[in-house]
Amino acid sequence: MSNILKIQNSKADAIGIMASSLCLIHCIATPFVFITHACVATTCSATPAWWKLIDYTFLIVALIAIYFATKHSIKKWVRITLWLSWTLLAAIILNESLHLIPIPHWFIYIPSLSIVFLHFYNRKYCHCTKDKCCSA
């Protein structure tokens, strides 16, 4: 059981980086997909259900990755910022689905990029090894 936790902890940032990067690519591709869709279909305002499902899939993967990445991260500000970034990302995705407040689409890039960079930083500087530990 201990080995499984070590693998999960060491891979959490890598999974977070990958999931957040794919999420970012998904966000960047969305306008182009709908422009193409508008040329083909007559009702361009409808978002396919499977496309929205991708948003929530990335959100869940990011949640799990951030949970494990922050579990053993030493720097408190990194833990807090990762969770704040995820919360902002979740709020923006929910807002896009429910159409609560008009927010420009590009706002989703802020938490997505933050999560990617924070995972990179956390992976490089904020984990203890047997020999050395990063400073708090």
Q: Which amino acid is at 44?
A: C
Q: Is the pTM of this model over 0.85?
A: no
For residues 65 and 19, the answer to whether their CB atoms sit within 8 Å is: yes
Predicted confidence at residue 63, as pLDDT, reads 92
Predicted confidence at residue 128, as pLDDT, reads 61
Predicted confidence at residue 86, as pLDDT, reads 95
CA 14 to CA 99: how far, in whole Å?
32
The token pair at 33 is 């997909």
Which among 133, 122, 110 has a CA at the least distance from the CA of 27? 110
- 30 in a structural domain: yes
- 113 in a structural domain: yes
- 49 in a structural domain: yes
Average pLDDT value over all residues in the chain: 77
- Residue 120 DSSP code: H
- Residue 47 DSSP code: P
- Residue 131 DSSP code: S
User: Would you place residue 8 in the very low, low, confident or very high pLDDT band (cuts 50, 70, 90)?
Assistant: low
For residues 109 and 27, the answer to whether their CB atoms sit within 8 Å is: yes
Predicted confidence at residue 5, as pLDDT, reads 46
- 88 in a structural domain: yes
- 130 in a structural domain: no
- 132 in a structural domain: no
Higher pLDDT, 86 or 6: 86
Other CB atoms within 10 Å distance of the CB of residue 5: 12
Predicted confidence at residue 36, as pLDDT, reads 57
- 134 in a structural domain: no
Which among 88, 98, 79 has a CA at the least distance from the CA of 59? 88
Mean pLDDT lowest for which of 17-26, 88-97, 125-134?
A: 125-134
- Residue 46 DSSP code: P
- Residue 50 DSSP code: H
CA 93 to CA 58: how far, in whole Å?
10
What is the domain count for the chain?
1
Give the structural domain span for 82. Answer: 2-125
The stretch 3-7 carries a mean pLDDT of 48
pLDDT of 26 strictly over 80: no
